[in-house]
Amino acid sequence: MSTASAIANAPPRADKSPLGRAAPAIAGVLIATTLQAIDGSIVNVALPQMQRQFGAPLPLLGWVVTGYTLANLIAMPLAASLAARTGLRTFFAASVILFTLSSGACAFAPGTASLLVFRALQGLGAGGLLPLAQSLLMSLFPGERRGTAVALVGFAAVLGPLLGPPIGGLLTDVLGWRSIFWINLPLGVLAAFLVLRFLEAPPKAGHPAPIDVGGIALLLAAVLALQLACSHHPWLLPIAALAGYAFIRHERRSPAPAVDLRVMRHPQFASTLAAAALYGVGLYASVFLTPLTLEHQLHMSAARAGLVVSAGGITSGALILSARPLLVRFRAQRLCELGALLFAASMIWLAAVSWTGGGAAFSAQALRGMGTGMLYVGMNAFAFADMPEGDLATSASLFYLLRQLGGSVGVALCALLLHAHGEAAGAAAAFLLLALTAPLAILPMRFRLGRLLGRIQPQIPPAA
């Protein structure tokens, strides 16, 4: 967090144009960010082919998705501290290289166990790319144009759900599932080269904060126990709860916490944290579940299923890019309510498609994207409306962390339902469960539960 703040407050460079020599560096950062975003969804359409080849049960194979997400989640709090020690450019390039090498290892994986390990390493490499990309680009743009840097990173992140499913489906049908990892190799090498060759290293932080090893360990224990509890091991729920409680207590007392809970003093932001987790459940689990349903129940090819899933990415991306006019017309809470209704309706529609084995899946996906897009815009506007500029980086990281955690739990629950009840009934039950997540997500905002959650604050004074 301190690295991002130092860069944001650094004086602009003498060259008023970010183009010229900096253009290749900008391209390298954006290529890496887009690859990270694509790999969050490209695997979903290839899961049926992986399942046929390895003969693995779906709850185990679901860890191909959740392992990447959880590793991403754990890497995020570490990224700022490690980057402060090694230098932002060096750490970013190292993350790209780890992501690229792990992608190659995934392509060579001989079985499920090795694939899960390599996929987790890929997630560790991807964990710091998105937040650090914004800091790097902000160092290349002069102060009055730093909004452009934020927009570029946001656009690259939006491209992931748009491009991941159709690219993954086409590659899987034509070249096999291993090709979805091979494609990262030349692009990852290119991104690392452009960053190392053309990006001028931003200044290191003078006195980087110590790494909160205890906090990271407790967070890892809590999320792993919760994930396993959602995958045939419910007896681990009390352990997850205890580890989560210990993590909160530790972070409240730590002088350099991995996750700074001071931002929960802002009521609107605190009210949105539970909503962020539930939003993650609905978003990631629906993107995981839909390709399986389309390929198994509607007998679509991977390429066609990827195109259908991308309909949601198109409508969602269009609404996210139209955030300003949407917020002029609707209040943030009303936008969330409309998005929740649309998302719930799309999940009920997809439940019917799964149960009957037919229906307009493309239209249902477009409706899903409208719902998630409205929820994304409304939740972010509501959460950060009263947030001071100095807390933006920390609060955004916490918001993203809870969204990722909710997504990994949602995928595990859906995989469990499919395994327990069969493809048709299990998918229908999972879609109906997801239909409840969006309406539940808006309740904390409606009743302003942030005043209660805001009590979870550090017992140490803010850093001077």
Residue 231 DSSP class: T
Structure tokens at 279: 């939003």
Instruction: Name the 3-class secondary structure at 258.
Output: coil
**The amino acid at 388:** P
Least confident of 62-66, 160-164, 165-169, 334-338: 160-164
Tell me the pTM.
0.78
More confident residue, 258 or 348: 348
The encoded tokens of residue 122 equal 């890929």
pLDDT bracket for residue 412 (50, 70, 90)? confident
Give the Cα separation of 217 and 238 in Å (integer). Answer: 17
- Give the lowest-confidence range in 154-163, 231-240, 419-428: 154-163
- Burial of 367 per CB tally in 10 Å (0-12, 13-18, 19+): buried
> Which residue in the block uniquely carries the two structure tokens 């096999």?
176
pLDDT tens sequence across 165-179: 888 889 999 999 999
pLDDT in tens, 70-97: 888 888 777 777 777 788 888 899 999 9
CA-based max dimension of the chain? 63
Q: How many helices (H) and strands (E) does the chain have?
A: 21, 0
Q: What is the DSSP string of 138-150?
A: HHHS-GGGHHHHH
Nearest to 382 by CA among 335, 338, 324, 340: 335
Are the C-beta atoms of 434 and 285 separated by less than 8 Å?
Answer: yes
pLDDT at 163 over 90: no
Burial-class residue 462 by CB neighbours within 10 Å (0-12, 13-18, 19+).
exposed
pLDDT band at 18 (very low <50, low <70, confident <90, very high): very low
φ, ψ dihedrals at 455, nearest 5°? -70, -15
Q: In this structure, are residues 272 and 264 in contact, taking their beta carbons and an 8 Å threshold?
A: no
pLDDT band at 21 (very low <50, low <70, confident <90, very high): low
**How large is the average pLDDT for residues 9-24?**
54
Average pLDDT over residues 279-285: 86
Comparison of pLDDT for 7 and 93, the residue scoring more: 93
∠30-365-309 over CA atoms, to 5°?
50
pLDDT, position 118: 94
Rounded to an integer, the average pLDDT of 387-405 is: 76
Question: Rounded to whole angstroms, how far apart are CA atoms 18 and 199?
Answer: 11
pLDDT tens digits, one per residue of 33-66: 888 888 888 888 888 899 888 888 877 888 888 8
How many percent of the chain have pLDDT more than 90? 16
pLDDT tens profile 210-264: 778 888 888 889 888 888 888 777 888 899 899 988 988 888 888 878 777 877 7
- DSSP letter (8 states) at residue 20: T
Does residue 4 register a pLDDT over 60? no
**Which of 172-186, 394-408, 428-442 bottoms out in mean pLDDT, i.e. has the lowest?**
394-408
Write the DSSP string, 25-55. HHHHHHHHHHHHHHTTTTTGGGHHHHHHHH-
pLDDT-derived band at 427 (thresholds 50, 70, 90) equals: confident
What's the whole-number average pLDDT of the chain? Answer: 80
Which tokens go with 127?
Answer: 């964990």
